[in-house]
Amino acid sequence: MVEFYPLFQKIKEEAVKARSAIVISHQNPDGDAIGSLLGMSYFLDQNEVMHELFCASPIPEYLKFLPNVERITNNDEVLLTREYDLIIILDSGDLKYAGVDMHFRSIKGLPIVINIDHHPTNTLFGHINLVHSKASSTAEIIFHLLDHYRHPITKEVATSLLTGILTDTGGFANLGTTSSSLEVSSRLVAQGARIREVITNTFRNKPLKQLQLWGRALSRLKEDPKTGIVTTVLLKGDFEELGIDEESTEGISNFLNNVEHAKAIIVLREKADGTIKGSLRTTQPDVDVSAIAKFFGGGGHKKAAGFTVKGRIVQTNLGWKIE
């Protein structure tokens, strides 16, 4: 991380100058989005910076165990009615993914924008861009920022950052796992991160109806013999019939990434707002699923990516298609 130390310095310089800041994570947040948001909040607290925490979507139930998560709001009034000297956007490749592209023009004044992320498809939209594509997660980057300035990491902050790393590496099972992520995680555990609580809430938390939903996805698995790509779909009706929300798909793409010999996995999910969320995964060294996601307006990593398009999923004689 030595090469990023000058950016660490710039970030702190802007933070201590700010009278008011807002920290934003991406919509439909995962463990890394919320974990890094809470870690960055601690950095600002240490530097006595008044700030708000914002996410365009509600916090998923499985992440509500995290300390201080109640400080995060999805009320966009904090974007529209207050002036900020500093905007920090985390774990988001662009403003649209953060869910604030339409609000951004409405923010009063001309604040400095700091962009902190680990996705290689990041568009570098900030005045300061701390983008480390080799990091396992944005939470890992926030750890190094705190560590660089010798801010003492509390048990609460350690738990939040470990949540980000564990969820983005699939419990140290995917290709995002590196020696650095393992070392940082070890240090977080040593500093009091409640690893059992993190694992219980993020990996061992599947209700019966969620597994029934996963069963529908498993029953629809199809492999294209020409490409080796395995696909499945989840329909809006599946969620309605089972009486569960869209959060229940969390983790299914990573689970299906265990399919033997598959070149890539694509899970298409109909959402209530008339869009379709595509989640892509691969374990193959010669496959870059972020290129596929980028083609559809999304992004991510070479081995894990996603996109959102308008439409609905229909079944044809040749299989499923989006129209």
Query: Max CA-CA distance within the chain?
Result: 62
Give the position of tokens 């594509």. Answer: 133
Evaluate the CA torsion angle 162, 165, 169, 172 in order and state its sign: negative
2-202, CATH topology level = inorganic pyrophosphatase (n-terminal core) (3.90.1640)
Please spell the DSSP secondary structure of 142-162, one letter per residue.
HHHHHHHTTPPPPHHHHHHHH
Token pair in block for residue 70: 């109640």
Q: Tell me the C-alpha distance between 265 and 242, whole Å.
A: 24
Ordered by start, the domain boundaries in the chain are 2-202, 208-322
The residues facing 316 across adjacent strands are 319
Q: Report which of 31, 8, 5, 61 is spatially closest to residue 193, judged by C-alpha positions.
A: 31
Q: Report which of 274, 258, 262, 264 is spatially closest to residue 309, judged by C-alpha positions.
A: 274
Per-residue pLDDT of the chain (323 residues; tens, 9 = 90+): 889 999 999 999 999 999 999 999 999 899 999 999 999 999 999 999 999 999 999 999 999 999 999 999 999 899 887 889 999 999 999 998 899 988 876 665 668 999 999 999 899 999 999 999 999 999 999 999 999 999 999 999 999 999 999 999 989 988 789 999 999 999 999 999 999 999 999 988 888 998 999 999 999 999 999 999 999 999 999 999 999 887 778 788 888 988 988 999 999 999 888 999 999 999 888 999 999 999 998 888 888 899 999 999 998 877 788 88
Q: Report which of 270, 278, 207 is spatially closest to residue 239, judged by C-alpha positions.
A: 270
Residue 70 DSSP class: G
Q: Tell me the C-alpha distance between 44 and 118, whole Å.
A: 20
| CATH class of this structure's domain 208-322 | alpha beta
Res 313: pLDDT: 93
222 with 230: CB under 8 angstroms?
A: yes
Q: Tell me the C-alpha distance between 240 and 237, whole Å.
A: 5
CA dihedral 219, 224, 227, 228 (to 10 degrees): 40
Res 214: pLDDT: 93
Q: One fold for both 2-202 and 208-322?
A: no
Res 110: pLDDT: 66
Q: Tell me the C-alpha distance between 186 and 111, whole Å.
A: 37
Res 263: pLDDT: 94
Give the global pTM. Answer: 0.85
Distances from the Cα of 97 to the Cα of 20, 83, 278, 287, angstroms: 23, 22, 14, 23
Q: Tell me the C-alpha distance between 68 and 131, whole Å.
A: 26
Q: Tell me the C-alpha distance between 310 and 323, whole Å.
A: 8
Token pair in block for residue 56: 């365009």
